[in-house]
A and B are shown apart, each in its own frame.
Chain A
Amino acid sequence: MLAYVIRRLLHAIPILVGVNLLTFTLFFVVNTPDDMARMQLGVKRVTPEAIEKWKAERGYDKPLLFNGNAEGAARLTRTIFFEKSAKLFVFDFGRADDGRDIGHEIRTRMGPSLAIALPTFLLGLFVTVSFALLLAFFRATYLDFWGVVLCVAMMSISSLFYIIGGQYLVSKVWHLVPISGYAGGLDAARFLLLPVLISVVAGIGSSTRWYRTIFLEEIGKDYVRTARAKGLAEAAVLFRHVLRNAMIPILTGVVVVIPLLFMGSLLVESFFGIPGLGSYTIDAINAQDFAVVRAMVFIGSVLYIVGLLLTDLSYTLVDPRVRLQ
């Protein structure tokens, strides 16, 4: 088990190097350090000396990928790519273009992001699984049919509609909660209620339909017929037999996103003015702040790989047939 985890973590290193190389190339192919310096300095103050100084201050005065002037291993290490991405591996993200420490920003913004993402995730999972079980219980009836119709309709609605409509109705017309903003401590609940509810509602359609298919697939299996033949009530069959076995395919999709909850939600956070990582990313995208975008890409990739690993480990917990080696 431990050996498996260690091997998987070692596998992650080339992937993370690849991720860095990709984002690095994407950025520097079009936008050279000279362009960045010009943009940051503003049009008026651009002189060749100023650009050189800006580059030297921020460590952009070296070759991109390969340093021909250096000797030995320094040919690869004294480059922008190595210096900028090697530090990422020890979670040192450097400074954003406005001079703030990215690592500090990320640590402070993680809280608000989690405060939205975690309740959304748990409540959403609970609501969709219960709704899907309900539809599976009443399968092949009108309730099931119209439930599926409702799901298809709900997944055809843009998530922007849920957010804009919800904000308008609940905050502007009914004045129940503030439209946007955030506060620390217990006060946060007031601000979090609406975004969490909206995110849950927006996710109901597709998840419910997917879980319903999984449940129906399980219901058709032999062990369910056996359970019914024993004379168990339909509810007992559903909760004790079908639900537990359906958890295996559900886990595949669910566990992998748990680590990504740290990243927050781009849309919801920026609409509701919540100072989390999602709105941080959007601000960075709009300001074309590459240091921040690269840090977020790196964190996202790490979390995704952790998620895949957790998925494998969770299989051994719920399915005794699975053995990791």
Chain B
Amino acid sequence: MMPVVLWTDALVFLLLAAAVGAGFQVRRRAYLLASWRRVGESRAGMAALLVLLAFAAIGLLDSLHYRPRLADANGRPANGYSTEVRSALDALLRPLRNAAEKTYSAPLATHLYARETVEQPDGTQVRLFPRLKHGGAHLRDADAEWGGDVTWRVLRGLLIAVLAGLTFAFAAVHVAARRWGVRRAQAWRNIRRGETRLAWNAALLTAGLLLLVAGPAVSLAGGYHVLGTDKVGQDVLYLTLKSIRTGLVIGTLTTLAMLPFALALGIAAGYLGGWVDDVIQYIYTTLNSIPGVLLIAAAVLMVQVAIDTRPDWFATAAQRADARLLALCLILGVTSWTGLCRLLRAETLKLRELEYVQAAQAFGAPAARIMGRHILPNVMHIVLIAVVMDFSGLVLAEAVLSYIGIGVDPSTISFGTMINTARLELAREPVVWWSLVAAFTFMFVLVLAANLFADAVRDAFDPRLAGRRNAAAVRERP
């Protein structure tokens, strides 16, 4: 196989490297570490972090792309590579990916959603619901065995989940006991009662819940379509898992794209003042006064025309779709940096008058150095809060934009394209509800976790809330 690094992949891993680097920075600085500890002390924050990590793991797996080697007629590897780009997640989910049916089928169904005319062995034709090729194909008598088989698989999944959860919890307690220097029973009691500094009980509980959902799902996915299939027979569970990466990419890369603009322009406007301030204010007022959706629409149309008229730019369809995804991130970034820029300008205006900046000026430090070394680190909390607060909004925006037709490429699997194709299915009789419900549920969990995490981060880092926090601590003291 030949590894393929799409543009978004490269940026995702750049972001990961930056996050790891930032992690090391935080470890070295006590005041940053204290703020992150406060995030960990929040039970909602810990639970949300764990869910986000699970989503991020899926997204990262889906960001390792390759082109498989072509096989010849006998199945032996041949020269050359397929034009189809796959990811590590595709390889992991191969049974789901390959188990395509003819058309819709309900979750856990054994029969197709629509009637078909089937020829019997004796030559007569009957209209019936044909059996699925993959869903429940291992059952000989589907109607009689279905209930027992599903129950058995759910129980097996739950059992594995419980065992895995207990092992995980035991390992966590063991490690905790070693680190705190207490007996294991004591460590367990501390965690259970929430008497630890970080909210380990919330983390363990969330991990347990995730396992309890994932266990039966994995166990059932071996023989059924857990969330049904869509119009062309693709497994809906596979589609939703693939959608996660698109949502994460849009939520994170957009902020990555806008950050340099917002930081440089915001701080420069606030610190330098004068005509620089006027020009930057003019730029962001102009951008701000264009209705966001229209600016995005105009820009996406342009990108679409540019991509369509130059087919030679891209080797594979995946690379073309990826270029459009990246372009969407950049466009969303360009249209959404103004808010952060204004916040940074206001904060810089305040910092500029503080003694330590004036001392640096008195020492004759150049403006660029003062902005980079003295002001930038002191506005980073605003940047962090803005980044985490924007994430959930961007994930939601992707769905809306894809619905309007100015979102991701129609061939990119995303929550927006899933909802868009599934929306007319509600008009069918009986209703095809599973694609919509699956997309909305996964999106809801992702956005809810992001919102809760953003709240925890804001509470921990916002200095305006710090005063209130200290006041509360003083009041509580006996």
Does A168 sit within 8 A of B, measured CB to CB? yes
Asked whether, in the complex, the Cβ of A26 is within 8 Å of the Cβ of B299, the reply is yes
Asked whether, in the complex, the Cβ of B440 is within 8 Å of the Cβ of A31, the reply is no
Return the chain B residue nearest A296 by Cβ.
B294
Asked whether, in the complex, the Cβ of B396 is within 8 Å of the Cβ of A159, the reply is yes
B5 smallest CB distance to A (angstroms): 26
For the complex of A and B, 3 pairs with smallest distance between CB atoms = A300-B291, A18-B286, A156-B448
The docked-state distance in angstroms from the alpha carbon of A267 to that of B299 is 19
Write out the residue numbers on chain A whose beta carbons fall within 8 Å of the beta carbon of B427. Answer: 172
Q: Which of A177-193 contact B (CB under 8 A)?
A: none
Asked whether, in the complex, the Cβ of B297 is within 8 Å of the Cβ of A168, the reply is no
Partner of A31, one of B293, B302, B400: B302
With contacts A26-B299, A293-B298 known, is A304 near B291, CB below 8 A?
yes
B423 smallest CB distance to A (angstroms): 6
Partner of A263, one of B291, B299, B392: B291
Asked whether, in the complex, the Cβ of B285 is within 8 Å of the Cβ of A285, the reply is no
Write out the residue numbers on chain A whose beta carbons fall within 8 Å of the beta carbon of B399. Answer: 158, 160
Does A305 sit within 8 A of B, measured CB to CB? yes
Chain A contact residues, majority secondary structure: helix
Asked whether, in the complex, the Cβ of B403 is within 8 Å of the Cβ of A160, the reply is yes
Asked whether, in the complex, the Cβ of B400 is within 8 Å of the Cβ of A267, the reply is yes
Return the chain A residue nearest B443 by Cβ.
A158
Return the CB mask of A78-122 against B: 1 if under 8 Å, else 0: 000000000000000000000000000000000000000000000
Partner of B295, one of A30, A155, A159, A297: A297
Partner of B294, one of A30, A167, A281: A281
Asked whether, in the complex, the Cβ of A26 is within 8 Å of the Cβ of B396, the reply is no
Write out the residue numbers on chain A whose beta carbons fall within 8 Å of the beta carbon of B444. Answer: 156-158, 161
The docked-state distance in angstroms from the alpha carbon of A29 to that of B288 is 22
Chain B contact residues, majority secondary structure: helix
Does A14 sit within 8 A of B, measured CB to CB? yes
Write out the residue numbers on chain B whose beta carbons fall within 8 Å of the beta carbon of A30. Answer: 302-303, 305-306
A128 smallest CB distance to B (angstroms): 18
Q: Give the B interface residue count (CB, 8 A).
A: 44
Offer 8 A-B interface pairs, CB within 8 angstroms, sorted by A: A19-B289, A23-B295, A161-B440, A167-B426, A260-B291, A286-B405, A300-B290, A304-B288
Does B161 sit within 8 A of A, measured CB to CB? no
Return the CB mask of A253-274 against B: 1 if under 8 Å, else 0: 0000000100100110010000
Q: Which residues on A are within 8 Å of B, measured CB to CB?
A: 14-15, 18-19, 22-23, 26-27, 29-31, 35, 152-153, 155-161, 164, 167-168, 172, 260, 263, 266-267, 270, 281-282, 285-286, 288, 293, 296-297, 300-301, 304-305
Write out the residue numbers on chain B whose beta carbons fall within 8 Å of the beta carbon of A297. Answer: 290-291, 294-295, 298
With contacts A15-B282, A26-B299, A29-B302 known, is A285 near B291, CB below 8 A?
no
Write out the residue numbers on chain A whose beta carbons fall within 8 Å of the beta carbon of B286. Answer: 15, 18-19, 22
Asked whether, in the complex, the Cβ of A172 is within 8 Å of the Cβ of B291, the reply is no
With contacts A30-B306, A267-B400 known, is A301 near B299, CB below 8 A?
no
B425 smallest CB distance to A (angstroms): 10
Write out the residue numbers on chain A whose beta carbons fall within 8 Å of the beta carbon of B267. Answer: none
Partner of A152, one of B285, B288, B403, B448: B448
Write out the residue numbers on chain B whose beta carbons fall within 8 Å of the beta carbon of A153. Answer: 448
Return the chain B residue nearest A288 by Cβ.
B301
Write out the residue numbers on chain B whose beta carbons fall within 8 Å of the beta carbon of A152. Answer: 448, 451-452, 455
With contacts A285-B406, A304-B288 known, is A156 near B451, CB below 8 A?
yes
Write out the residue numbers on chain A whose beta carbons fall within 8 Å of the beta carbon of B436. Answer: 164
Write out the residue numbers on chain B whose beta carbons fall within 8 Å of the beta carbon of A156. Answer: 392, 444, 447-448, 451
The docked-state distance in angstroms from the alpha carbon of A38 to that of B29 is 61
The docked-state distance in angstroms from the alpha carbon of A164 to that of B427 is 11
Write out the residue numbers on chain A whose beta carbons fall within 8 Å of the beta carbon of B303. Answer: 30
The docked-state distance in angstroms from the alpha carbon of A216 to that of B172 is 40
The docked-state distance in angstroms from the alpha carbon of A297 to that of B286 is 11
Write out the residue numbers on chain A whose beta carbons fall within 8 Å of the beta carbon of B173. Answer: none
Asked whether, in the complex, the Cβ of A19 is within 8 Å of the Cβ of B405, the reply is no
Asked whether, in the complex, the Cβ of A26 is within 8 Å of the Cβ of B298, the reply is yes
Does B419 sit within 8 A of A, measured CB to CB? yes
Return the chain A residue nearest B392 by Cβ.
A156
